[in-house]
């Protein structure tokens, strides 16, 4: 699964460079390249499952009745989570539209801040996924102490990561990291100011 994701990312980078940067085919081609990389990841995982047969021990054959049973609790617990993630994404999309209506410099500054914050967000997202799996495993094994240990360990890791990310990006690498995306002075400067503002919000809300 990890290999499929890595290969898909490499494929996306190659396609983007070939068709967007080299042949200048535009943003629609960029979206098509991204879709192709996602399809490659899916086919890679599917091929691995078919060849490795890792599912045979837990699912020897398809039981249609069992596959479609107990979906009520899945929808009751899953739909609120879907809306939470969707609202978060919609907020980012709305901010992009608002920034675009304010001019190219503002849109560029928003894009710089969004990309850097996304890079910083990837580590908490990975820890969040791993902790969810670990806590579920411990609860399934009737081990509440183990699940609590995984939860408290994740909180300690996130607190340490937040402090280290501040030291790494601010203020030493802020200017150099913002100029990677755009060398225009006003765009880079506005991007730095946006990152400083958004970076201070977690500390403000943590004190409330």
Q: Between residues 135 and 56, which one has the greater pLDDT?
A: 135
pLDDT in tens, 32-51: 999 999 999 999 998 988 88
- Above 80 in pLDDT, residue 205? no
Per-residue exposure over 30-69, b if at least 16 CB sit within 10 Å of its own CB, e if not:
beebeeebeebbeebeeeeeeeeeeeeeeeeeeeeeeeee
Mean pLDDT value of segment 4-17: 90
Which ranges of the chain does DSSP label H, i.e. alpha helix? 2-15, 27-52, 64-67, 71-101, 104-140, 144-169, 174-181, 185-206
Per-residue exposure over 115-136, b if at least 16 CB sit within 10 Å of its own CB, e if not:
ebeeebeeeeeebeeebeebbe
- Given phi > 0 = left and psi -120 to 50 = alpha, else beta, which region is 63? beta
What are the domain boundaries of the chain?
1-59, 70-101, 104-208
What is the spatial distance between Cα 22 and Cα 11, in angstroms, rounded to a whole number?
15
Task: Look at residue 141 and give its three-state secondary structure.
Answer: coil
- Above 90 in pLDDT, residue 21? no
What is the spatial distance between Cα 199 and Cα 2, in angstroms, rounded to a whole number?
30
What is the spatial distance between Cα 151 and Cα 147, in angstroms, rounded to a whole number?
6
Average predicted confidence (pLDDT) for the chain: 79
Mean pLDDT value of segment 72-101: 85
């Amino acid at each position: 699964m990890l290999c499929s994701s890595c290969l898909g990312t490499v494929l996306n980078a190659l396609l983007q460079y070939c068709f967007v940067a080299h042949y200048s085919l535009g943003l629609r081609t960029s979206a098509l390249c991204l879709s192709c990389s996602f399809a490659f990841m899916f086919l890679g995982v599917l091929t691995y499952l078919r060849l490795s047969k890792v599912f045979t021990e837990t699912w020897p054959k398809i039981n249609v009745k069992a596959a479609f049973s107990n979906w009520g609790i899945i929808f009751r617990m899953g739909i609120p989570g879907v809306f939470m993630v969707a609202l978060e994404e919609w907020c980012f999309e709305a901010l992009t539209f608002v920034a675009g209506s304010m001019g190219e410099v503002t849109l560029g500054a928003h894009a710089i801040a969004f990309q850097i914050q996304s890079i910083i967000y990837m580590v908490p997202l990975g820890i969040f996924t791993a902790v969810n799996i670990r806590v579920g495993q411990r609860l399934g094994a009737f081990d509440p102490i183990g699940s609590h240990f995984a939860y408290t360990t994740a909180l300690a890791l996130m607190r340490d990561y937040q402090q280290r990310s501040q030291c790494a990006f601010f203020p030493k690498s802020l200017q150099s990291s913002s100029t990677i995306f755009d060398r225009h002075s006003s765009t880079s400067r506005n991007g730095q100011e946006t990152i400083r503002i958004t970076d201070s919000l977690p500390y403000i809300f943590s004190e409330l």
